[in-house]
Chains A and B, each alone.
Chain A
Amino acid sequence: MSRLRWMSAFLILAGALLIGVQGAQANASAQGVSNDTCLACHGRPGINLTLDNGDIVPLLVDASMFASSVHGQQGFDCVQCHTTLGNYPHPTFHAADRRDFNTQLYRACQSCHQNEYEKTLDSVHEHARAAGVPEAALCTDCHGAHDTRRLTDPQTHELRSDARTWIPRTCAKCHSAIYDKYLTSVHGAALVGEGNADVPTCVDCHGVHDIGDPTTATFRLKSPELCAGCHTDPQRMDKYGLSTQVLNTYVADFHGTTVTLFEKLTPDAVTNKPVCFDCHGVHDIRRVDDPQKGLAVRENLLARCQRCHPDATADFPDAWLSHYIPSPDRFPLVFSVDLFYKILIPGTLGGMALLVGLDVSWQVRSRLRRRKGAPPEAPAPLAGHPDLPAEESAGSANGPPEEPGVPGAPTDGSQEVDHD
């Protein structure tokens, strides 16, 4: 019954999908406009569009460029994107300026790439545009229009390693100052310089279509997990001899503890405690032994401390364990203190537990004996002021009246009397 229902639901869904796909194709072919038709005009220079501001936009399409693009390779028709242009004369088109021209045309992307488009609605770019910054990136600013390249592997849907190296150049079209810094970083130099796919490209940290605002408190609090994604991965780190203890040691420290708790409890709150990039840099992260900025160089570390602790003195950087786990070689004082307590705590508590255990076992034994009616181990005296001679009690120089007592026995004095 329910299986049948599932089956029919599946069939309906599959059928709907099939009709949808065929519909899309049928739509294009119904227009009966081949790319050759479009290129008959748009393949030659001469067709221009004059914008409202007087700018002239050539409406020329490089046929060979389109043919080598991901859409061209898959045989898409012009009119599948330019759905309103299947007939001639074309409907009237007005654009205030070039940006307006692009902003109107990029909407074509969403008819096929709906998921990606919806993600962009949450992005920092879309928010910027809503706030009146028309330059904020559109699909086509990053992907191109007629020269769109394949970025992911069709099988794995993973970013292709050559695509990883293109991405910084794409972002640089608008963020060139940050790109220049990135090139100086250990990551940027490896990616752009060596084509090393192990290092992060822009989108690994910033995301792809739903690129968030990286200046928010939320992004800052989440960022240690971002760095840790690679820096706690032994497979990646072992290749370069890097420690995977960087997150643990950070979280164990005052700064990291605070940031971790902030992230868990109040993820959008502002804290002045540093995250990875506050010390290591953001786009200009250097090797730790870099003479200019590397944090393994003491002067560089002090300079970093002083950004938040302006009064820090030369000795202050040692207050931070630099991601090391204390050992006899590194931070021996901290190691010794830890060791001292590793001995002191069990030593002290062990002694205490032994005495408590002895007392408990004696109490249990004497209680069992009493229940059996046997005479108590020690005579439980009446509470009074007898004048027995002192035996061994120290501080009883004058022969105090000392009673052999049952000091640890239940406090109810009358019981003791009964047993006497």
Chain B
Amino acid sequence: MTDPGPAPAPASPKAVADIVRFDVLQRVQHALMLISFTTLAFTGLVQKFATAAVSEAIVRLLGGIETTRIVHRSAAVVLSAVAIYHVVDAAYRVFVLRTPLTMLPLVEDFKHLYQDVMFYLGRRNRKASYGRYSYAEKVEYLAVVWGTLIMGLTGFMMWNPLASVRWFHGQAIPAAKAAHGGEAILAVLAILLWHFYHVHLRHFNKSIFTGRLTRQEMHEEHPAELERIERGAAAPRPPASVLRRRQQIFIPAAVVFVAAAGFGMFRFVTAETSAVAIAPPAETAPIFVPQTPTPTVPPPPSPTPAPVASSTWAGGLGDLLGQRCGACHGASALSGLSLSSYASALQGGTRGPAVVPGDADASVLVQIQSTGNHAGQLTNAELAVIIAWIQSGAPEQ
């Protein structure tokens, strides 16, 4: 939170040493936060605005929505780890090094804001004289703390909805989603407007990467802090013995805190498998269940053949042929063949005489029936009677 840099004794305005502003770990914190925040912003906003074409393109690039969510949650874990580290780091500065809480907003910051507004309005001839952190920076810091808390809490609730409803009302889950989305938009727009303006556009302040500001930059942006450093008023490092005594209390406490936070994080990530991996089948009814029995028209009974009294046309063979063949070869005389009379049977149809007395092989009726595939197929017994009748000269009477 505060970092009493060494106070160089400037020899002349032209040859001044840089002021150390951030130590390595602070710069690492910022770098990790920058990476995780950017990742969270991209992978989160594409979920919030999932139907936008650009979101679709980004999700496609990331390999689908499930991968996007894994990336989002991984970045959330990194950011949470940074937050835990930051708490330990700040506590060390406050409780062990006993440096002042230079990031906390004070009445002075409201005064500076008022002075700056007066300056912009031409009522004052210079801007406020900022200390180690200006109100602009404090606003950002508070926004990060507030944002991380909100995002962490609401993110936890969406990640673990079943566990969350044990502690909150069910409605808290969609409320958490609303807050997560609203806070995301606020954070991203604030970064773009406030952060980018102050440290990129207005003046590209690289100190969070290099750790240093030139004396001139310090003079322009943090005049009161520069003065404090050069006056030698920076908080002195406590003597080694005092430091050791405080560390003996701090380190176990910090270990407990980190272990607890780490365990909490682990639970956060692994505790809940809220849903089944594969959705149960939506339709459980069997697919093919024919209505039983499949309605079919039963074949009509075949007409009972008339008893063949004697081997003559009039003695029963004429009736047999009439019943068994008459549907086609009766009045309708299909293929020219009518079996309704003895004479027409001898005459035959388009393919020749149906009956040739004394010669069954030459009779077309026998020829066709012998293939066994006629639409009006006679039984073997019936056919045998007919063949015998023909061989015996096919008597009419």
Hey, which bits of chain A sit against chain B, CB under 8 A?
Answer: 37, 40-41, 44-50, 56-60, 88-90, 92-93, 98, 133, 135, 172-178, 180-181, 214-215, 220, 251, 254, 257-258, 260-262, 264-266, 269-274, 277-278, 281-283, 307-313, 315-321, 326, 331, 333-334, 336-338, 340-342, 344-345, 348-349, 352-353, 355-356, 358-359, 361-363, 377-378, 382-385, 392-396, 398, 400-411, 413, 416
Which stretch in B34-42, B252-260, B368-376, B387-395 binds the other chain?
Answer: B368-376
Which of B122, B165, B231, B300 lies in contact with A315, CB distance below 8 A? B165
Interface centre among B228, B280, B332 (most CB of A within 10 A): B332
The reply on B245 being an interface residue by CB < 8 A is: no
Closest residue of A by beta carbon distance from B106: A394
Contact yes or no, B170 A317, CB < 8 A: yes
**Given the complex of chains A and B, what is the CA–CA distance between A265 and B178 in angstroms?**
25
- CB closest chain-A residue, reference B374: A89
From B107, B170, B377, name the one whose CB has the most chain A CB atoms within 10 angstroms: B170
Find out whether the CB atom of B194 lies under 8 angstroms from the CB atom of A264.
no
A402 and B129 within 8 A (CB):
yes
Residue among B116, B169, B174, B294 making CB contact with A326, cutoff 8 Å: B174
Find out whether the CB atom of A338 lies under 8 angstroms from the CB atom of B182. Answer: yes
Say whether, besides A349-B190, A359-B120, A173 and B291 are in contact (CB < 8 Å).
Answer: yes
Contact with A along B243-257 (1 / 0, CB 8 A): 000000000000000
Q: Is the CB of A175 within 8 A of B289?
A: yes
The 10 closest A-B pairs by CB, nearest first: A318-B170, A341-B182, A40-B332, A319-B173, A400-B227, A393-B129, A394-B108, A413-B216, A45-B300, A404-B126
- 20 pairs, A vs B, C-beta closer than 8 Å: A88-B335, A92-B371, A93-B373, A133-B288, A173-B290, A173-B291, A215-B281, A220-B282, A257-B47, A264-B56, A265-B59, A319-B171, A352-B193, A359-B202, A363-B202, A377-B122, A382-B13, A406-B126, A407-B127, A413-B216
A413 to B182, CA, bound (A): 41
Contact partner, B182, options A258, A278, A345, Cβ 8 Å: A345
Answer whether residue B131 sits at the interface, using C-beta atoms and an 8 A cutoff: yes
A316-B161 in contact given A44-B327, A337-B179 (Cβ < 8 Å): yes
Given A319-B171, A400-B228; A345-B328 close (CB under 8 Å): no
Contact, CB under 8 Å: A47 / B328: yes
Per the bound structure, the CA–CA distance linking A419 and B59 in Å amounts to 52
Partner of A174, one of B130, B193, B197, B290: B290
Mask for B285-310, Cβ within 8 A of A = 1, else 0? 11111110010110110110000000
If the complex has contacts A173-B291, A316-B162, A405-B126, are A265 and B60 also in contact, measured as CB distance less than 8 A?
Answer: yes
Q: Is the CB of A278 within 8 A of B279?
A: yes
* B221 sits at the interface (CB 8 A): yes
Chain A residues positioned under 8 Å from B278 (CB to CB): 270, 272
Q: Please give the distance in Å from B162's CB to the nearest CB on chain A.
A: 5
B325, closest chain A residue (CB): A46
Give chain B residues whose Cβ lies under 8 Å from the Cβ of A262. Answer: 64-65
B contact set with A: CB distance below 8 Å:
10, 13, 16, 47, 50-51, 56, 59-60, 64-66, 106-108, 111-112, 115-117, 119-120, 122, 125-131, 136, 158, 161-162, 165-166, 169-175, 177-179, 181-183, 185-186, 189-190, 193-194, 197, 202-204, 214-217, 219-221, 223-224, 227-228, 230-231, 233, 274-283, 285-291, 294, 296-297, 299-300, 302-303, 327-328, 331-332, 334-335, 368, 371, 373-377
A344 close to B287 (CB less than 8 A):
no
From B64, B197, B288, contact of A135 by CB (8 A): B288
Please determine whether A312 and B162 come into contact, CB atoms closer than 8 angstroms.
Answer: yes
Report the minimum CB–CB distance from A363 to chain B (whole Å). Answer: 8
Could you tell me if B194 and A352 are in contact, using CB atoms closer than 8 angstroms?
Answer: yes
With known contacts A264-B56, A310-B276, A377-B125, A395–B283 Cβ distance under 8 A? no
Instruction: Name A345's contact: one of B10, B51, B158, B185 (CB within 8 Å).
Output: B185
Residues of A within 8 A of B287 (CB): 175, 177-178
Q: Find out whether the CB atom of B47 lies under 8 angstroms from the CB atom of A396.
A: no
> Are the CB atoms of A254 and B193 closer together than 8 Å?
no
Given A338-B178, A355-B117, 19 more pairs with CB closer than 8 A:
A88-B335, A89-B368, A135-B288, A254-B177, A261-B56, A272-B279, A308-B279, A309-B274, A318-B165, A321-B174, A349-B193, A359-B197, A378-B125, A392-B111, A395-B228, A404-B126, A406-B126, A408-B202, A411-B204
Decide if A265 touches B289 in the complex (CB within 8 Å).
no
Taking a contact as CB atoms closer than 8 A, the residue among B108, B216, B285, B328 that contacts A395 in the complex is: B108
- The chain A residue with its CB closest to the CB of B56 is A264
Identity of the chain B residue whose Cβ is nearest the Cβ of A56 in the assembled complex: B299
**B162 pairs with A311, CB closer than 8 A:** yes
From the candidates B136, B285, B300, name the one contacting A283 in the complex (CB within 8 A). Answer: B285
Given A405-B127, A411-B217: A396 and B227 interface contact (C-beta under 8 Å)? yes
Alpha-carbon separation in the docked complex, A349 to B203 (Å):
20
Q: Please state if B334 and A40 are interface contacts (CB–CB under 8 Å).
A: yes
B282 near A282: Cβ-Cβ < 8 Å: yes
**Known A-B contacts A270-B278, A318-B169, A349-B190; A257 and B65 likewise in contact (beta carbons under 8 Å):** yes
Given contacts A45-B300, A178-B285, A261-B50, contact A403 B219 (CB under 8 A): yes
Contact A362 B120 (CB under 8 A): yes
Q: Across the interface, name the chain B residue whose C-beta is closest to A262.
A: B65
A401 to B297, CA, bound (A): 113
Q: Within the complex, what minimum Cβ distance (angstroms) separates B60 from chain A?
A: 5
Known interface pairs A361-B120, A402-B223, A408-B127; A258-B193 also in contact (CB < 8 Å): no
Q: Which of B166, B175, B204, B228 contacts A334 (CB 8 A)?
A: B175
- Which residues of chain A are within 8 angstroms of B281 by Cβ–Cβ distance? 215
Choice from A173, A181, A337, A398 contacting B285 with Cβ under 8 Å: A181
A205 and B224 alpha carbons, distance in the complex (Å) = 73
Determine the distance from Cα of A310 to Cα of B10 in the docked complex, in whole angstroms: 70
- Please measure, in the bound complex, the distance between the C-alpha atom of A180 and the C-alpha atom of B51, giving whole angstroms: 38
Q: Give the complex CA separation of A135 and B193 in angstroms.
A: 68
Residue of A nearest to B278 (CB): A272
Is B186 in contact with A341, judged by CB distance below 8 angstroms?
A: yes
B302 touches A398 (CB 8 A): no
B274 touches A176 (CB 8 A): no
Q: Are B186 and A344 in contact (CB under 8 A)?
A: yes
Q: Which residues on A sit within 8 Å (CB–CB) of B174?
A: 319-321, 326, 331, 334
Alpha-carbon gap, A408 to B203, bound state (A): 8
Contact among B125, B204, B303 for A404, CB-based, below 8 A = B125
| Residue from the set B181, B282, B285, B296 with the largest chain A CB neighbour count within 10 Å | B282
Cα–Cα distance between A25 and B308 once the two chains are bound (Å): 47
Write the nearest CB–CB distance from B218 to chain A, whole angstroms. Answer: 9
Contact A257 B193, CB 8 Å, known A41-B328, A215-B281, A344-B186:
no
Chain B residues positioned under 8 Å from A44 (CB to CB)? 327
Nearest Cβ in chain A — how far from B270, in angstroms? 15
| Complex Cα spacing A315 to B168, Å | 9
With both beta carbons as reference points, the residue of chain A lying nearest to B289 in the complex is identified as A177
Residues in A with CB closer than 8 Å to B328 are 40-41, 47, 88
